[in-house]
Amino acid sequence: MIAELDTVVLVRDLPGLGLEEGDVGAVVHVYAEGRAIEVEFVSGSGSTVAVETLSPTDVRPLGDREILHARALAA
């Protein structure tokens, strides 16, 4: 089960927010016994790019054997 402060990986694009599959975020709140989660996505400088309420199926936990990758945000 995903918990608050977990690092998660987006498993689908969210074009309206400028987010892409593989973007990494932090769970800032878990609603209704895990039926929904609020995830914050930040830039490399720590500025918030998006905070979105998602289904747990929209993300997966970041694995111990994964490496982060940087990409430029669309204008």
User: Checking phi first, is residue 46 left (phi over 0); if not, alpha (psi -120 to 50) or beta?
Assistant: left
Are the CB atoms for 10 and 20 separated by under 8 Å? yes
| pLDDT band at 54; cut points 50, 70, 90 | very high
- Domain parsing of the chain, residue ranges: 7-61
Q: pLDDT, tens digit, for every residue of 8-40?
A: 999 999 999 999 999 999 999 999 989 999 999
For 2, the token pair is 């995903």
The 3-state DSSP class for residue 52 equals strand
Distance from C-alpha of 28 to C-alpha of 39, rounded to nearest angstrom: 6
